[in-house]
Structures are given as C-alpha cells and as structure tokens.
Amino acid sequence: MEQIQDSLRSRISQLVDILSSKQKKIAMYILENPYFTSYASANDLGEKNNTTAATVVRFAQTLGYDGYPQLQDALRLEFPNYMTTIARMQKRMNSEKPPSSTYEQVFYTDIKNIEQTASKQNKENLDNALDAMLKAKRIWVIGAGLSYAPTNFLAHSLKVMGFDVTSIQGEVLQSAVDTTRMRPDDLLIAIDLWRYVRKTINAVSLAKRTGTTVIAITDSIVSPISQLADISFEIASEGIAHSRSVTGLMSLLNVFIAMLADRVPEQVYESLKRVDECYRENDLLVMT
C-alpha cells in the first residue's frame, strides 16, 4: 500500500473508493461521532452500524492501522484540533440531556447541526471556493430531492448579486442536455445530501470530463460527489423526522453569499439596485 497521511479523515478520503458499503457506513458514523468512537469498543461500534466487531477491525486495517485500538489512538490525537470554541460548545451540548418534546428536539438538533457544520469548515477552503465563483464565466448549480430547495435559494441569491447562474433542473434527459453545455471556464456547484441522487453524480462526472471546476456540498467525505469535486464542503444534517435537516446547509450557503458580497460590493450593489428598480417598475412588490 502506498504511503498515506496520518489523519484518519485523510485516510478515509484517500481510500474511500476501495471501501465496501458496510465500511463506508462505519466511516460515516466515525466522522459524525468521533467522541463516541474514540472510547467505544469494536463491538459497540459494530452494533451502532448493524455489523460485527470483526468488520470494524477489518475496516481499521484497511485504513492502514494495525487494528481498531490504533485507529482510536489516531482519533484521540486529533482532539486538540477539534477543541475550537465551536467544538467546545458541541461537546457541552452532547453532554446535556436532549429535550423531550418534539418541537424542542427540532430546535436543539438544528442548533447542533449549525455548530457542527461551522466546525467542519476552514478559511482556506472557503477562500478557494470564492475565488472559483468570481473567476467562473458561468456558474451552474444542481441539486435534487432534499437538496432541490437549497439549490434554488443559492441560484436565486447569486443571480440577484449579479452572477451569471444557470440552475440545472427538470427531467433527467433535460438535465443531461444542460450539463453538456458546461465549459472549462465555468463552475458547477453540486449539492447532494443523504440518499445521493444519480442525476447529480452524473452531472459532476461530466463536469470533470469537460474540465469544469466543481464545488461539492454534501454531508460526508465518503459521498460520491465529494470524491469527484475540486473543492468539497461537509455539512451536518441530523434530522428528527423522516428526513434530514438542511439547516446547516442553509447556514453554509449564507456564508458564501455574505463573503461574496464582501468581495465584490460594487457589483452586488449595482445588481441589487437594478433588481429593485425592476420590481418597482413592474409593480411586483406589495410592500416597499
């Protein structure tokens, strides 16, 4: 096996293509629950993922560790890097008893999602994404299913800020046709959470073949689009009901929008002024 980095996250990212479906599930759980994993037995971790202790041990060995205890040691070594202000808040919330009522649980979980999403980001990655957006001749955005509404929010926000944005929507055939129009000087922002959508994955694959820069926003570094993207962002999406939460995702999109506005304030001001004039001229607003 060729030399791999010591970071557990780096090892998972580099070797995700050779992991089995059960091992990918274990990887996602470890990344989402580092504190639990660092002290849980292999049997406990296996039960959490409906598999066996032996599978957990083989997963650790696949990543290049002698066994599961060595994986735990590597995870604990990363704890000092986790202990930012946000991570300390996260640890405190994890130690508190969750509220019992449903409406309190939803708010409690979404606050955790925002904190965990923030803790997963770094300024260099954000700066690289902003540079790519500002450099692109045209920005394409795609997201389906759970990601559909946040994708539309991002597309609308970028449009009113003066960016040339096309949202890839509609039936599979039409979406395929749209993706063939992407060029090397364009940018594709792909959003895909939870039950990953083939249409989105195919669009990212085509973008890579045409030389289009890809920004992926997803909920795990082992998701398909994360492995294909030039720049990848991971968000927390734990939900209370039947689906996942997009609260952390929406917060990250708001970060993009605010930071872009700081980069090109004149462009944003002029564009918003034109949009406002259009609204008024066409009597589109009930209140002004």
pLDDT tens digit sequence for 149-195: 999 999 999 999 999 999 987 666 666 777 788 999 999 999 999 88
Distance CA 8, CA 77 (A): 10
Split at pLDDT 50, 70, 90, the class of 280 is: confident
pLDDT of residue 31: 84
Q: Are residues 39 and 63 in the same domain?
A: yes
Say which DSSP state 211 is in. T
Say which DSSP state 100 is in. S
| CATH number, domain containing residue 63 | 1.10.10.10
Whether the pLDDT of residue 274 is over 60: the answer is yes
- Do residues 217 and 210 lie in contact, with contact meaning Cβ atoms separated by under 8 Å? no
2 domain residue, yes or no: no
pLDDT of residue 93: 56
C-alpha closest to that of 203 among 153, 152, 144, 246 = 144
pLDDT tens string 34-85:
877 887 889 989 999 999 999 999 999 999 999 999 998 888 776 655 444 4
Q: Which residue has the higher pLDDT, 221 or 216?
A: 216
Residue 246: CB atoms within 10 A of its CB come to: 23
pLDDT tens string 248-269:
999 999 999 999 999 999 999 9
Q: Which residue has the higher pLDDT, 271 or 112?
A: 271
Domain termination site, one of 96, 119, 142: 119
pLDDT of residue 4: 38
281 domain residue, yes or no: no
273 domain residue, yes or no: no
C-alpha closest to that of 142 among 208, 199, 222 = 199
Q: Are residues 164 and 251 in the same domain?
A: yes
pLDDT of residue 100: 73
| Average pLDDT taken over every residue of the chain | 86
How much of the chain exceeds pLDDT 90, in percent?
53
Backbone angles phi, psi at 185, to 5 degrees: -90, 10
Q: What residue numbers bound the domain in which 208 lies?
A: 123-263
Say which DSSP state 49 is in. T
Whether the pLDDT of residue 142 is over 50: the answer is yes
Distance CA 4, CA 14 (A): 8
Distance CA 283, CA 268 (A): 22
C-alpha closest to that of 226 among 252, 249, 245, 200 = 200
Instruction: State how beta strands 139-142 and 213-218 pair.
Output: unpaired
pLDDT of residue 194: 83
How many domains are there within the chain? 3
pTM of the model: 0.74
Average pLDDT over residues 15-25: 90
Q: Are residues 127 and 255 in the same domain?
A: yes
The type of residue at 4 is I
pLDDT tens string 191-203:
999 888 888 999 9
Q: Are residues 143 and 216 in the same domain?
A: yes
Q: Are residues 138 and 250 in the same domain?
A: yes
